[in-house]
Structure 1
Amino acid sequence: MSHAPHLPSDLISELLTGMRLHGVQYRRIQTGPTFGLGFPPKPGHAYFHYLAVGTATLRGEDGSQHLLSAGDVVLLPRGEGHALLSGENHPVQCLETIDAAPLGDTVSGIDTCPSTHAVPSAVLFHGCMVFDLGGMQGLSKVMPAVMLADGNGTQFPGLLPMVDAMKREVCSGRIGFAGILARLADAVAAMIVRDWVERGCDGASGLVMAMRDPRLSLSLLALHKDPGRDWTVEALAAESNISRSVFADRFQTVIGTAPLRYVTELRMQLASQWLTHHQSLSIEVVAERLGYASQAAFSRAYKRVMGHSPGATRRGRSLISP
Structure 2
Amino acid sequence: MDPISDIFRTMHITAFGQHRLEATAPWGLIQAKQANERLPPSGKRISPSDVAHFAMLSRGNCWLSVEGISDPIPLTGGDCFLLDRDTSIVMRDSPRTRPRSTFEEVAARANGHVAHYGGGGTPTTIVCGSFSFDRASLRPITQLLPNFILIKSDQARTLALHSTVQALASEMAEQAPGSGVVATRLAEVLFIQILRAHIASEPERNKGWLRSVFDPQLGAALSAIHERVHAPWTVESLAEAAGMSRSAFAARFKELLGQTPLEYVTGWRMQKAIQLLEQRDKKLIDVARLVGYESDAAFSKAFKRVVGANTGEYIKRGLAGQRDPDRAESPSL
TM over 0.5: yes
Query: Please, which runs of 5 or more residues in structure 2 have no aligned partner?
Result: 34-47
Hey, what does 1:177 align to over in structure 2? 179
User: How many Å separate the matches in 2 of 1:84 and 1:21?
Assistant: 26
The Cα of 1:221 is off from its aligned counterpart by 0.9
Q: What is residue 159 of structure 1 aligned with on the other side? A: 161
**Which whole-Å CA distance do the structure 1 matches of 2:79 and 2:211 have between them?**
30
SS of the residue 1:200 aligns to: coil
- For normalisation by structure 1, the TM-score amounts to 0.72
1:1-322 to 2 correspondences below 5 Å: 20-22=12-14, 24-41=16-33, 42-62=48-68, 64=70, 65-77=72-84, 80-88=87-95, 89-98=97-106, 99-100=108-109, 103=112, 108-112=113-117, 121-131=123-133, 140-141=142-143, 143-151=145-153, 156-198=158-200, 199-200=202-203, 202-205=205-208, 207-208=209-210, 210-241=212-243, 247-248=249-250, 251-252=253-254, 255-272=257-274, 279-280=279-280, 284=284, 286-310=287-311, 311-312=313-314, 314-315=318-319, 317-318=321-322
Q: CA RMSD in A?
A: 4.1
Contact 1:26 1:125 in 2 (8 A): yes
CA–CA distance in structure 2, aligned partners of residues 78 and 171 of structure 1: 26
SS, match of residue 205 in structure 2: helix
Query: Structure 1 unaligned runs (5+)?
Result: 1-8
State the distance in 2 between where 1:75 and 1:209 align: 18
Distance 1:251 1:174 in 2: 49
Residues 270 and 12 from structure 1, CA distance in 2 versus in 1: closer, same or farther, beyond 3 angstroms?
Answer: closer
Can you list the C-alpha shifts for 1:7-48, whole angstroms capped at 9, x where unaligned? Answer: xx9566666766742262323333343333333334321101
The structure with higher relative contact order (CA 8 Å, sep 6+) is: 2
Identical aligned pairs, as a percentage?
28
| TM-score, normalised via structure 2 length | 0.70
Q: Does the 8 Å CA contact 2:161/2:194 hold for their aligned counterparts?
A: no
Instruction: Quickly say closer, same or farther: Cα 1:306–1:74, change in 2 above 3 A.
Output: same
Give the Cα separation in 2 of the matches to 1:138 and 1:222: 22
Range 312-321 or range 19-28, more displaced: 312-321
Number of residue pairs matched? 304
CA 288–152 in structure 1, closer or farther in 2 if over 3 Å, else same: same
Question: SS at the partner of 1:169?
Answer: helix
Q: Which amino acid aligns with 1:50?
A: M
Counterpart-to-counterpart distance in 2, 1:251 and 1:240:
10
